[in-house]
Amino acid sequence: MSARVESLNAKSFELPARMRGLQPTLIRQFFERALPDSINFGLGEPDLPTPQFMRDEAARIARDEQNGYTSHPGIPALRDKIAEQYPHLELPRTGVVVTCGSQEAMTDAFMCTVEAGDEVLLPNPSFPAYDACTRIAEATPVYYRMPADGDFAFDIENFKSQITDRTKLAVVISPSNPTGKILTEENLKQIAGALEGTGIWLISDEIYSDLYFGERPHSASEYYEKTIIVSGLSKSLSMTGWRLGWAACKDPELINAIQVLHGFTTVCTSTITQKASLLAWTDEAEEAKQIARDVYKKRGEFLVELFKKELGLNSTSPEGAFYTMLDVRSLGDDIEIAEKFLQNRVVTVPGIAFGDEAKGFLRISFCNTEELMAEGVRRMKEVL
Ligand SMILES: Cc1ncc(COP(=O)(O)O)c(C=O)c1O
């Protein structure tokens, strides 16, 4: 071995900057420490069964058909169905890339829009993956506040105040993880107004867009052309493990870059999943989505009332997704309280996991039967 190679080998390895300091989220950390027989208010994973027609179709496809690679961006018929979901965009098939869950679409979208030196505008509080994706893409996260004291509603003045000449990308999510709040049409128009002419890209995370309890939420893409929609079937059809997501965007250069990156990272998502997912826009699937909306709406109302009645605590009234933010500011530090609940076999997530605006809150997901949730609240009461 040459002296030069030996001296290179002697250097201790350091992870590349993009990976340094990245940790699994607090959501996972709490979940993984759960005691046996815990009630799970932690993970955002639907407990409703994947619709039977979907399982049967996937089983048939696995048994009867040859399932090789699909083209990188997905099977044409599926891309067409996804494109039709956004009639206002008049997307060609090439405007859609089918990905391994919306998480992959999101990571791809970050990697294809920003680099070192760029700033990314993220909601505070928000899903921790946005911060991680920003860092993996070597950009800098900057936060706009969804004020806790304003029920975590959108605040255009705060959003505008965080835009600088380095801002290259912004992210919105509606319905929101962690707050369960929906951006109004007015909010989305304000966002479009603030971004128009700046060249800033907008990622619209619409993974919960089928789970709404009032009017169907609008898509940011209706108001702002440089929007990249990130969505999928995980939450609306209880298909988290199937890994069916997509990115959709009107800009040919950007969506082509996403397609190329996707090809080099995952090639294509499971062919069995893709073929079965053609059924995700049928009447049967619409019925299943409606059932999910009805179930989560009822559970959300039940839980908010129970927190008030049994614990004397307020929580945000859910407008979509399956989350509420429980206000524990009167009791102390959210991490300590979540820890105490964990020891009494109730998994929750401290609000700080989503940003300092949610400090003093716990994110509660209601992916549980009413009976299990009542038991969870009983255990929480025991602790308090
Ligand atoms: C806000 C948000 N976006 C994206 C995802 C990723 O979901 P998937 O990759 O299963 O589509 C999740 C999952 O919890 C989420 O909560």
Average pLDDT along the chain, 384 residues, taken 10 residues at a time: 59 90 85 93 94 98 98 98 98 98 98 98 97 97 97 98 98 98 98 98 98 97 98 98 98 98 98 98 98 98 98 97 98 96 96 97 96 98 95
Topology of 3-50+284-383 in CATH? Answer: Aspartate Aminotransferase, domain 1 (3.90.1150)
pLDDT at 31: 85
Q: Is 4 exposed, middle or buried (0-12, 13-18, 19+ CB in 10 A)?
A: exposed
Domain 68-280 class, CATH top level? alpha beta
Q: Which of 131, 84, 73, 72 is nearest to 355 (CA)?
A: 131
pLDDT at 6: 60
Return the best residue to mutate from 207, 244, 262, 270 for the ligand 1 pocket (most ligand atoms within 8 A of CB). Answer: 207
pLDDT at 23: 86
* Rounded (to 5) percent helix, strand, coil in the chain: 45, 15, 40
pLDDT at 26: 81
pLDDT at 29: 83
The Å distance, Cα 110 to ligand 1 centre, comes to: 15
| 3-50+284-383 matches 68-280 in fold | no
* 124 bridge partner residues: 145
- For residue 177, the ligand 1 atom closest to its alpha carbon is 1
- For residue 233, the ligand 1 atom closest to its alpha carbon is 11
- For residue 126, the ligand 1 atom closest to its alpha carbon is 1
Domain boundaries in the chain?
3-50+284-383, 68-280
Burial 178-192 (b: 16+ CB within 10 A, else e): bbbbbbbeebbbbbb
pLDDT at 86: 98
pLDDT at 24: 83
Residue 316 and residue 148: Cα distance in Å, rounded?
A: 10
Q: Are 145 and 159 in contact (CB under 8 A)?
A: no
* 169 bridge partner residues: 120, 201
- pTM equals 0.96
H helix or E strand, kind and range, residue 119: strand 119-124
Which residues surround ligand 1 with Cβ inside 6 Å? 44, 101-103, 127, 173, 177, 205, 207, 232, 234, 240, 245
pLDDT at 352: 96
Q: Which of 281, 254, 243, 287 is nearest to 108 (CA)?
A: 254
The Å distance, Cα 183 to ligand 1 centre, comes to: 18
